[in-house]
Chain A
Amino acid sequence: MSSTTNPSTHHTSTIGAIGAPSRRNTELALLVFAVLIPVFAYANVGLAINDEVPAGLLSYGFGLGLLAGVGHLVVRKFAPYADPLLLPLATLLNGLGLVAIWRLDQSGRLQSSKLFVEAAPRQLMYSALGVALFVAVLVFLRDHRVLQRYTYISMAGALVLLLLPLVPGLGHDNFGAKIWIKIPGLGTLQPGEFAKIVLAVFFAGYLMVKRDALALASRRFMGLYLPRGRDLGPIIVVWIISILILVFETDLGTSLLFFGMFVIMLYVATERTSWIVFGLLMSAAGAVGVASFESHVQQRVQAWLDPMHEYELSRQGIFGHTEQSMQALWAFGSGGTLGSGWGQGHSDLIGFAANSDFILATFGEELGLAGLMALLLLYALIVERGVRTALAARDPFGKLLAIGLSGAFALQVFVVAGGVMSLIPLTGMTMPFLAYGGSSVIANWALIGILLRISDTARRPAPAAPASPDAEMTQVVRP
Chain B
Amino acid sequence: MNKPLRRIAIFCGLLVLTLLVRDNWLQYVQADGLKEDEHNRRVAIERYATPRGDIIVDGKAITGHATTEGDFKYKRTYKDGAMWAPVTGYVSQAFGATQLESIDDGILTGNDDRLFFRNTLDMVTGKKREGGNVVTTLNAAAQKAAYDGLKRQGAKGAVVAIEPSTGKILSMASYPSYDPTTIAGSNDAAGEAWNKLQKKNNPDDPMLNRALREAYPPGSTFKVVTAAAALEHHLYDSADEKTDSPLPWTMPGTSTDLPNEGDLPCEDATLREALRVSCNTVFGKVGYDLGNDKMLETAKKFGFTEEQFVPVRSSASVFSDGMNDSQVALSSIGQYNTAATPLQMAMVTSAIANNGTLMKPYMVDALQAPNLDTIEKTDPKEMSKPLSADNAQILQSMMETVVEDGTGTNARIDGVTVGGKTGTAQHGVDNSENPYAWFISYAKTDDGSSPVAVAVVIEDENAGRDDISGGGLAAPIAKNVMEAVIDSKK
| Complex CA distance for A337 and B28, rounded to whole angstroms | 6
Q: How far is the CB of A291 from chain B (nearest CB, A)?
A: 21
Mask, B3-20, CB within 8 Å of A = 1, is 111111101110110111
Q: How far is the CB of B5 from chain A (nearest CB, A)?
A: 5
B26 at the binding interface (Cβ < 8 Å):
yes
Q: How far is the CB of B443 from chain A (nearest CB, A)?
A: 54
Do B31 and A333 touch (CB < 8 A)? yes
| Complex CA distance for A399 and B5, rounded to whole angstroms | 9
Q: Report A17-39 residues with CB < 8 Å from chain B CB.
A: none
B256 at the binding interface (Cβ < 8 Å):
no
B interface, over-half SS: helix
Chain A residues near B6 (CB, 8 Å)? 1, 391
B448 at the binding interface (Cβ < 8 Å):
no
Closest chain A residue, CB of each to CB of B21? A423
Do B20 and A373 touch (CB < 8 A)? yes
**Given A369-B28, A387-B12, do A329 and B19 touch, yes or no (CB 8 Å)?**
no
| Inter-chain CB contacts under 8 Å: number | 136
For A269, A411, A422, A423, the residue with the greatest tally of chain B CB atoms inside 10 Å of its CB is: A423
B125 at the binding interface (Cβ < 8 Å):
no
Mask, B30-52, CB within 8 Å of A = 1, is 11111101011110010000000
Do B22 and A423 touch (CB < 8 A)? yes
Do A329 and B41 touch (CB < 8 A)? no
Q: How far is the CB of B73 from chain A (nearest CB, A)?
A: 12
B371 at the binding interface (Cβ < 8 Å):
no
Within 8 Å by CB of A268, from B5, B20, B26, B40, lies B5
A311 at the binding interface (Cβ < 8 Å):
yes
B2 at the binding interface (Cβ < 8 Å):
yes
For B2, B3, B4, B33, the residue with the greatest tally of chain A CB atoms inside 10 Å of its CB is: B4
Do B19 and A369 touch (CB < 8 A)? no
Chain A residues near B41 (CB, 8 Å)? 330, 346, 349
Closest chain A residue, CB of each to CB of B70? A108
| Complex CA distance for A384 and B17, rounded to whole angstroms | 13
A289 at the binding interface (Cβ < 8 Å):
no
A364 at the binding interface (Cβ < 8 Å):
yes
Closest chain A residue, CB of each to CB of B13? A380
Stretch at the interface among A44-52, A235-243, A413-421: A413-421
Do B27 and A330 touch (CB < 8 A)? no
Do A334 and B15 touch (CB < 8 A)? no
Do A268 and B4 touch (CB < 8 A)? yes
A379 at the binding interface (Cβ < 8 Å):
yes
A336 at the binding interface (Cβ < 8 Å):
yes
Chain B residues near A267 (CB, 8 Å)? 4, 7-8
Chain A residues near B192 (CB, 8 Å)? none
Chain A residues near B5 (CB, 8 Å)? 268, 387, 390-391, 399, 403
Chain A residues near B1 (CB, 8 Å)? 268-269, 271, 396, 399-400
Chain B residues near A417 (CB, 8 Å)? 19
Do A423 and B8 touch (CB < 8 A)? no
Within 8 Å by CB of A423, from B19, B42, B71, lies B19
Chain A residues near B2 (CB, 8 Å)? 3, 6-8, 391
**Given A391-B2, A418-B18, A418-B22, do A372 and B40 touch, yes or no (CB 8 Å)?**
no
A161 at the binding interface (Cβ < 8 Å):
no
Chain A residues near B27 (CB, 8 Å)? 332-333, 335-337, 364, 368-369, 372
A109 at the binding interface (Cβ < 8 Å):
yes
| Complex CA distance for A414 and B19, rounded to whole angstroms | 7
B23 at the binding interface (Cβ < 8 Å):
yes
B24 at the binding interface (Cβ < 8 Å):
yes
| Complex CA distance for A369 and B27, rounded to whole angstroms | 6
Chain B residues near A383 (CB, 8 Å)? 12, 16
Mask, A253-288, CB within 8 Å of B = 1, is 000000000001001110100000000000000000
Chain B residues near A384 (CB, 8 Å)? 9, 12
Chain B residues near A391 (CB, 8 Å)? 2, 5-6, 9
Closest chain B residue, CB of each to CB of A383? B12
Within 8 Å by CB of A334, from B7, B13, B34, lies B34
Do B8 and A334 touch (CB < 8 A)? no
Closest chain A residue, CB of each to CB of B24? A369
Q: How far is the CB of A256 from chain B (nearest CB, A)?
A: 12
Chain A residues near B4 (CB, 8 Å)? 267-268, 271
Mask, A336-351, CB within 8 Å of B = 1, is 1100000000100100
A406 at the binding interface (Cβ < 8 Å):
yes
Within 8 Å by CB of A414, from B3, B18, B24, B71, lies B18
Do A333 and B20 touch (CB < 8 A)? no
| Complex CA distance for A118 and B12, rounded to whole angstroms | 35
**Given A335-B27, A337-B28, A399-B1, do A330 and B34 touch, yes or no (CB 8 Å)?**
yes
Do B15 and A337 touch (CB < 8 A)? no
Within 8 Å by CB of B20, from A269, A376, A387, lies A376
Mask, A295-335, CB within 8 Å of B = 1, is 00000000000001001000000000000001001101111
Do B42 and A346 touch (CB < 8 A)? yes
Do B34 and A418 touch (CB < 8 A)? no
Mask, A378-419, CB within 8 Å of B = 1, is 011001100100110000100110010011001101100110
Do B8 and A403 touch (CB < 8 A)? yes
Chain A residues near B30 (CB, 8 Å)? 333
A160 at the binding interface (Cβ < 8 Å):
no
A156 at the binding interface (Cβ < 8 Å):
no
Do A387 and B34 touch (CB < 8 A)? no
Q: How far is the CB of A397 from chain B (nearest CB, A)?
A: 11
| Complex CA distance for A308 and B39, rounded to whole angstroms | 9
Chain B residues near A271 (CB, 8 Å)? 1, 3-4
Do B8 and A376 touch (CB < 8 A)? no
**Given A264-B8, A346-B42, A391-B5, do A377 and B16 touch, yes or no (CB 8 Å)?**
yes
Closest chain B residue, CB of each to CB of A108? B70
| Complex CA distance for A249 and B4, rounded to whole angstroms | 32
| Complex CA distance for A346 and B12, rounded to whole angstroms | 32
Chain B residues near A396 (CB, 8 Å)? 1
Q: How far is the CB of A36 from chain B (nearest CB, A)?
A: 26
| Complex CA distance for A413 and B33, rounded to whole angstroms | 27
Q: How far is the CB of B43 from chain A (nearest CB, A)?
A: 9
Chain A residues near B31 (CB, 8 Å)? 332-337, 369
Chain A residues near B37 (CB, 8 Å)? 330, 333
Closest chain B residue, CB of each to CB of A421? B22
Closest chain B residue, CB of each to CB of A399? B1
Do B3 and A333 touch (CB < 8 A)? no
Within 8 Å by CB of B23, from A369, A390, A399, A410, lies A369
Chain A residues near B9 (CB, 8 Å)? 384, 387, 391
Chain A residues near B15 (CB, 8 Å)? 410-411, 413-414
**Given A269-B1, A333-B33, A407-B12, do A376 and B45 touch, yes or no (CB 8 Å)?**
no
| Complex CA distance for A317 and B164, rounded to whole angstroms | 54
For B1, B3, B19, B27, the residue with the greatest tally of chain A CB atoms inside 10 Å of its CB is: B27
Chain B residues near A387 (CB, 8 Å)? 5, 8-9, 12
| Complex CA distance for A326 and B38, rounded to whole angstroms | 13
Within 8 Å by CB of A109, from B12, B22, B26, B71, lies B71
Chain A residues near B22 (CB, 8 Å)? 418, 421, 423
Do B16 and A332 touch (CB < 8 A)? no
For A6, A380, A413, the residue with the greatest tally of chain B CB atoms inside 10 Å of its CB is: A380
| Complex CA distance for A396 and B2, rounded to whole angstroms | 10
Chain B residues near A1 (CB, 8 Å)? 3, 6
Do A406 and B12 touch (CB < 8 A)? yes
Do B8 and A407 touch (CB < 8 A)? yes
Q: With contacts A271-B3, A376-B19 known, what are 19 further pairs, Cβ within 8 A?
A: A3-B3, A264-B11, A267-B4, A308-B39, A329-B26, A330-B41, A332-B26, A333-B26, A333-B37, A335-B27, A364-B27, A372-B27, A383-B16, A387-B9, A391-B9, A413-B16, A418-B19, A421-B19, A423-B18
| A–B Cβ pairs within 8 angstroms, 13 of them | A8-B2, A326-B39, A329-B34, A330-B37, A334-B35, A336-B28, A379-B16, A384-B12, A387-B12, A391-B5, A403-B5, A407-B8, A414-B16
Report, nearest first, the 10 A-B pairs whose CB atoms are least far apart. A333-B34, A369-B27, A410-B12, A380-B16, A414-B15, A330-B40, A387-B9, A3-B3, A268-B4, A423-B22
